[in-house]
Structure formats: C-alpha cells, structure tokens
C-alpha cells in the first residue's frame, strides 16, 4: 500500500477524472463511426450496399423502389458507405441513442440512374 501513496495523494487533490456527463460532452472524433445516414436524393437502388453488408441490415426492393434499413442490425462497419458509388450513404460521428423497439427505416430514393 505505501507504494500506492503518491497516486492516492495525486488523486485526492487532482480533481475529478471523469466528465460531468450530460452537462459536459466530449466531442466525437472526426472520423468516428457513429451511425449510418442515407441520402434519398442520390441513391439509385443499385444494391451494392445490400450485397456487401455483412449484417444484412439493408434490404432493397427494386419493384417497390424501396430501401429498407434495420438500424438494430447495423454494426457500423462503413462497408456500405465505401461500396456506394453515388455517395448516398454517409457515416455520421454521433451515436444513435438506445431504442426500446427495433426501428425499421423505409427509404424511397429518388436518385436517377445516369443514362450512359
């Protein structure tokens, strides 16, 4: 125990080591992976993201022109954002708050396939 004394004394006079959380929030790091956002104006329903997603969190229905996203399955690996050719998927730094029920996001993208 005597060897621990310098640390104990330092802690005694050093002030709190933690933040007063809800009042004092640490800034997220610039490239932290928080949650995934879809841009409906850019997405063309090409399906690259859904094919690459390791957690099967994205489903695409080309007939109904719908993209269904299951945030509770998402592991925020950023693979979809890397796969997207139209930059329609972005990874934001803020985390989602916890949810009580598993939400389902249905997107109806309006992006146009470029005539090439």
> Per the structure block, which two tokens stand in for 102?
């598993």
Alpha-carbon span 71 to 38, nearest angstrom: 12
Under the binding rule (CB under 8 A), the answer on residue 32 touching other proteins is yes
Among 44, 55, 59, 66, binds other proteins (CB under 8 A): 55
Alpha-carbon span 97 to 85, nearest angstrom: 29
Under the binding rule (CB under 8 A), the answer on residue 74 touching other proteins is no
| Nearest-approach distance from CB 47 to other proteins, in angstroms | 15
Please name the residue that has the structure tokens 């997207």: 84
Under the binding rule (CB under 8 A), the answer on residue 82 touching other proteins is yes
Under the binding rule (CB under 8 A), the answer on residue 16 touching other proteins is no
């Amino acid at each position: 125990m005597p060897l621990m004394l310098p640390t104990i004394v330092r802690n005694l006079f050093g002030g709190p080591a933690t933040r007063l959380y809800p009042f004092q929030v640490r800034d997220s790091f610039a490239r932290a992976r928080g949650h995934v956002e879809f841009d409906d104006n850019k997405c063309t329903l090409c399906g690259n993201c859904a094919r690459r997603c390791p957690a099967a969190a994205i489903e695409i229905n080309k007939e109904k022109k719908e993209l269904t996203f299951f945030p509770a399955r998402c592991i925020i690996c950023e693979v979809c954002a890397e796969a997207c050719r139209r930059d329609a998927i972005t990874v934001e730094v803020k985390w989602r708050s916890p949810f009580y029920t598993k939400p389902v996001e249905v997107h109806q993208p309006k992006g146009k396939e470029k005539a090439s």
